[in-house]
Structure 1
Amino acid sequence: MNQKSKRQARAERKHIAAAKKAEKNARLVTTVVQENIKKPRKNKNPDSIFAMHMSWCLDYADRECSWSWGCQRDWTEAEWAENIKPKLDEWSKLTWKEIDEFSSDTGHKMHHNMDCDVICEEAQLRLLEIELDGDVIFRFRLGNKLRLWGFRKLQEFQIVWYDRQHKIYPTDPD
């Protein structure tokens, strides 16, 4: 009988040790998994570009041919030096949040996204032709009628068009 109870005691101790080991392993796995989960910073959206500084590129600029209204798509060296580049340099010093806060005297946002289906049909077709299709295009206001159009990919503004006459999204009836 002593033999059996020793055997039983040994089996019980082995079972308890195995259960403790399994519990410890489960705690370790949970701890490791929890440590590897990325947590957002408090009060910040880690996916937001608004905290990032604006950058820009010309890789997608559509500067060939002209629009049906008679304007060349390409800008001149003078337009680049006087109208476009200085503004890009100025905006590159700002975050997208600061850029988003620019508004006119009437409260209208000066720089903003627009759905691609509201720009002129010629521009919509041109985007498909040059394989730059997207649902939303971004527009910078450079002056009274001057606009710079492109796509925003994270913090980078990918310049597509320089619109001298506000014809890509006309607001005045002709």
Structure 2
Amino acid sequence: MSSKKRIAANKIPGQRKPEKTVGNLGKVLPNSGNSADRICWRFTHVDHDGPWGLAKLSPADMEYLLKKLADVEKQTVREIFNQSADLGKHYEAHSLPNRIAQERLVELQLSDMTRISRLRFKGKERLFGFLVDNVFHVVWWDPEHEIWPSPKKNT
């Protein structure tokens, strides 16, 4: 029996050909069709040793933060930073008002970055990092609004 006939003989009636997955994540991963437009996260530059590192979070706080990140990543960068200043905002990194934050950027070898971005969740909670295209490189979790305090009361 030739190899072509052997392959045809092994085919199960009604069985569909498996769909290719390379470059076609939408077929494998639901709701991933517009992933290039939506914000996503990188954790390479997290400040583990500073006062706003993620390692200091309790398991409950980490679960809360991850749920917030999952909720935010449903949006595009444009929706977050251009249509809602409440959620996303950019600052000039050299203007950081917190001296400790400035020193941490030097220690992390990130002091040459010109713009730092933040996401505001609720009340005082902020996530700081660097936005490159649609990738938010997380640096600090600031639950008490210490990195870039607002001149307004109760914010």
TM tier relative to shorter chain: 0.5 to 0.7
2:109 alignment partner, one of 93, 110, 131 = 131
**CA–CA distance in 2 between the matches of 1:66 and 1:98?**
30
- Aligned equivalent of 2:93: 116
Gaps of 5+ in 2: 1-35
**Within 5 Å, which residues of 2 pair with 1:77-156?**
77-82=59-64, 84-100=65-81, 101-103=83-85, 109-119=86-96, 120-133=98-111, 134-156=113-135
**One-letter code aligned to 2:117:** F
How many residue pairs get aligned? The number is 115
With structure 2 as the length reference, what TM-score do the two structures score?
Answer: 0.65
With structure 1 as the length reference, what TM-score do the two structures score?
Answer: 0.59
**CA–CA distance in 2 between the matches of 1:167 and 1:72?**
15
**Within 5 Å, which residues of 2 pair with 1:1-174?**
52-66=37-51, 74-82=56-64, 84-100=65-81, 101-103=83-85, 109-119=86-96, 120-133=98-111, 134-172=113-151
Overall identity of the aligned pairs, in %:
28
- Aligned equivalent of 2:17: none
**CA–CA distance in 2 between the matches of 1:89 and 1:72?**
16
8 Å contact kept, 2:54–2:141: no
Over alpha carbons, which structure has the higher Rg?
1
Deviation string 1:18-73 (CA, Å, 9 cap, x unpaired) is xxxxxxxxxxxxxxxxxxxxxxxxxxxxxxxxx82101011111122437xxx987
* Cα drift, residue 166 of structure 1: 0.6
* Cα drift, residue 123 of structure 1: 0.4
Pairwise CA RMSD of aligned residues?
A: 2.5
Q: 1:54 to 1:150 in 2, by over 3 A?
A: same
Deviation string 1:111-155 (CA, Å, 9 cap, x unpaired) is 111111222121011101111221110000011001000011111
Gaps of 5+ in 1: 1-50, 104-108
